[in-house]
Structure 1
Amino acid sequence: QAGLESDRSQKVEGSVAPGSPLWARVGGVRTRIYENSLLIAFAVIFFGSWAAQAVTGWTEYNNEQEEHKDSIVSFGTYLTRPDFWEKTLQNWQSEFLAVGTMAVLAIYLRQRGSPESKPVGAPHDETGSTG
């Protein structure tokens, strides 16, 4: 079964396996949080690193403004400046290229023994969403 799969195939709530994590067993909101914990963790990392990049860029931008005897800008104003978006897009450009290439190549190419690769004989349209 593809997609989100059933609680039974995901081994949560009433279908838990021995040794399942506590938050997978208890149900309710805690299970919903736990079943999305990877997304939550990466969202926190993503937005945290983007915020850190924004703050350091803003500080650097204002330091350069002061060196040139120009007026400094507020953080909100900096977020609308081309300097912020140029730095953001420069950073993301290389990341998108790397991740995008890996995702596309992983559909058609194989590496025996790699957890990122499908089995060598698997069809191209087979996905790893079997739980």
Structure 2
Amino acid sequence: MSSRTATASGRTGRLGRFLRDNGLGLAFITAFLVVLVAQAFAGHAAYNNRLLTDGMARAGLGDYITSSDFGVDVMENWQSEYLQFFLYIFATVWLVQRGSPESKELHKAGRESDEDQMVGERARDDSPGWAASRGWRQGAYARSLGMVMGLIFLLSWLAQSITGTAAHNERRLRRLQAPTSWSEYVFSADFWSRTLQNWQSELLAIGSMAILSIYLRQRGSPEFKPVGSGHAETGVEG
């Protein structure tokens, strides 16, 4: 085998391993981008229908994806998703659900011991550096995922409120009505109707997952118990 062929084969092998080792993340990122593009095209068509109804000229795709209408539609979904993860991460520290693989074992409710969490003097050689440290570094790292999820939620919620204000005022101006301020919009029925309809669906979905996974199985998924496990087994994953 020539050196060029061997090099190409090695690159192919590394690419194959990379795709295998990161398949879950890559699949969802790809699916996200595909759906976001599809949303842009569908939203563009609906946006132009509203413009025509109001007697306005049609907008180009580029104008639509940089508009407040597209921005608020994207942000209101992002903030509800990250709120779901933020609440779930912190709720599962203290709350348990008997029989659910989404829950910790019943006796492990709470922050757990340093030994269980492998922090401080109980850290292993391959533990992250901040897990082995003391003080604020360990405390911050021990809560880093929840804090980042919470921060993304707050930023996307803020972005939703700003883009929502702009979109709301655009609709008002078409009807020759005076625009509203950001604070007025944030306390308006329109804002909370859009927000709460997303929150309730996310909370229902995560509650359903925790309860249905007590009795139902999905073979091979680490999110569920082994098919033959008992309904009362808690915190067991396949």
Quickly name the TM-score band, shorter chain normalised. 0.7 to 0.9
Aligned partner of 1:79 among 186, 189, 213: 186
2:205 matches 1:98: yes
Give yes or no for the alignment of 1:54 onto 2:147. Answer: no
Higher relative contact order (CA 8 A, sep 6+): 2
Structure 1 residues 126 and 40: CA distance shift in structure 2, 3 A? farther
Q: Count matched residues.
A: 129
Moved more, 103-112 or 50-59: 103-112
Residue 89 (structure 1) aligned to one of 196, 199, 203: 196
Q: What's 1:2 paired with?
A: 108
2:108 is paired with a residue whose SS is: coil
C-alpha separation between the residues in 1 aligned to 2:231 and 2:130?
35
1:44 aligns with 2:154: no
Instruction: Provide the C-alpha distance between the structure 2 equivalents of 1:123 and 1:93, rounded to a whole number of angstroms.
Output: 31
1:120 to 219, 223, 227: 227
Give the Å deviation of 1:123: 4.0
SS of corresponding position for 2:234 = coil
Q: Rg bigger for which structure? A: 2
C-alpha distance in 1, partners of 2:233/2:139? 27
For the residues of structure 2 that align with 1:2 and 1:47, how far apart are their CA atoms?
A: 30
- C-alpha separation in 2, matches of 1:14 and 1:23: 12
**Is the aligned partner of 1:69 residue 2:198?**
no
Query: Any gaps of 5 or more consecutive residues in structure 2?
Result: 1-106
How far apart are 1:121 and its partner, in Å?
Answer: 4.1
CA distance, structure 2, for counterparts of residue 24 and residue 93 of structure 1: 35
Instruction: Note the alpha carbon deviations across 1:38-85, whole angstroms, 9 max, x for none.
Output: 211211122222222211111100111111111111111111100100
Report the CA distance shift for 1:125/1:55 in structure 2 as closer, same or farther (over 3 A). Answer: farther
For 1:107, give the aligned amino acid: I
Matched residues in 1 for 2:210 and 2:198: separation? 19
> What amino acid sits opposite 1:70 in the alignment?
Q
> Larger % of helix: which?
2
For the aligned residue pairs, the C-alpha RMSD in angstroms reads 1.9
